[in-house]
């Protein structure tokens, strides 16, 4: 066994041992990937390969970039063959599904922080704008959640009629709107403000309160209620 092989084996074992002794949360990003990859190549050990994956895939150092990476893109990296690419793709997809698990019914939403915490993980990964509608009962418990639109360039396409048809159908007393800004900046646009006011006023006429409109950015959010866009 040559020196390079010894080095590879040493580097493969370290993340496993570290995980067993201290837990997966103590591993660096490269170490976590190294555990999944298991081995490197003749030219690079597994930690070096994992580091290159992060450098090549993670735009602006964001691990979320992995979730939108295709098998073909992974295989373009030297040392990542079909088996490793499929394995990584499955891990990334599993991560997306965990983040996108539906919120349980009857969950009570009493603060913007609570709403943002429930939806931040999945909405910050979206590359296009999605608008969610939460339908609530008189105790702010969730009756139903749904996607009103996806892939649009702005929330301004929302019409009060579409929102309140769903609210009336499910006997909702209050509603919360959420949408993401793929740019990562949750600052409301002028269209966001105009649309929010229009939906708020329509809700008052029929007795269904717009409780909040929350805009999700990159690990941050804006509550239009807290910022006084909603009375």
Boundary of a domain, candidates 99, 129, 147: 99
Domain membership flag for residue 78 = yes
User: What is the average pLDDT score of the chain?
Assistant: 85
The three-state secondary structure class of 80 is coil
- Rounded Cα distance between 13 and 22, Å, is 14
Residue 27: give its domain's CATH number: 1.10.150
* Domains held by the chain: number: 2
Q: Residue 121: what pLDDT?
A: 80
Domain membership flag for residue 229 = no
158 compared with 21, residue with greater pLDDT:
21
Asked if 48 contacts 40 with a C-beta cutoff of 8 angstroms, the reply is: yes
Q: Does 80 lie in the same domain as 173? A: no
- Token pair, residue 120, equals 């931040």
Is residue 47 scored above 70 in pLDDT? yes
Domain membership flag for residue 107 = no
pTM to 2 decimal places: 0.67
Domain that holds residue 170: 112-223
pLDDT, one tens digit per residue, over 7-43 is 544 444 588 888 988 999 899 999 999 999 988 888 8
- DSSP assignment of 143-197, as one string? EEEEEEEEEES-GGG--HHHHHHHHHHTT-SEEEEEEE-TTS--PPPHHHHHHHH
Residue 118: give its domain's CATH number: 3.40.140.10
Mean pLDDT of 162-171: 95
């Amino acid at each position: 066994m040559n020196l390079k092989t010894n080095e590879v084996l040493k580097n493969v074992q370290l993340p496993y041992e570290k995980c067993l002794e201290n837990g997966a949360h103590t591993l660096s990003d490269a170490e976590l990937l190294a555990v999944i990859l298991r081995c490197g190549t003749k030219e690079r050990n597994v930690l070096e390969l994992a580091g290159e994956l992060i450098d090549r895939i993670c735009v602006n150092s964001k691990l979320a970039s992995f979730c939108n990476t295709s098998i073909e893109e992974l295989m373009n990296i030297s040392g990542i063959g079909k088996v490793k690419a499929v394995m990584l793709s499955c891990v990334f997809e599993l991560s997306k599904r965990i983040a996108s698990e539906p919120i349980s019914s009857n969950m009570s939403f009493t603060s913007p922080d609570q709403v943002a915490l429930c939806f931040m993980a999945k909405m910050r990964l979206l590359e296009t704008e999605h608008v969610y509608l939460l339908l609530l009962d008189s105790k702010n418990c969730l009756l139903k959640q749904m996607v009103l639109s996806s892939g649009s360039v702005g929330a301004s396409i929302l019409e009060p009629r579409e929102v309140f048809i769903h609210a009336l159908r499910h006997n909702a007393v209050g509603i919360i709107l959420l949408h993401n800004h793929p740019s990562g900046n949750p600052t409301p646009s002028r269209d966001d403000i105009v649309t929010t006011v229009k939906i708020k006023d329509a809700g008052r006429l029929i007795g269904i309160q717009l409780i909040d409109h929350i805009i999700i950015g990159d690990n941050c959010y804006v509550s239009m209620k807290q910022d006084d866009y909603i009375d």
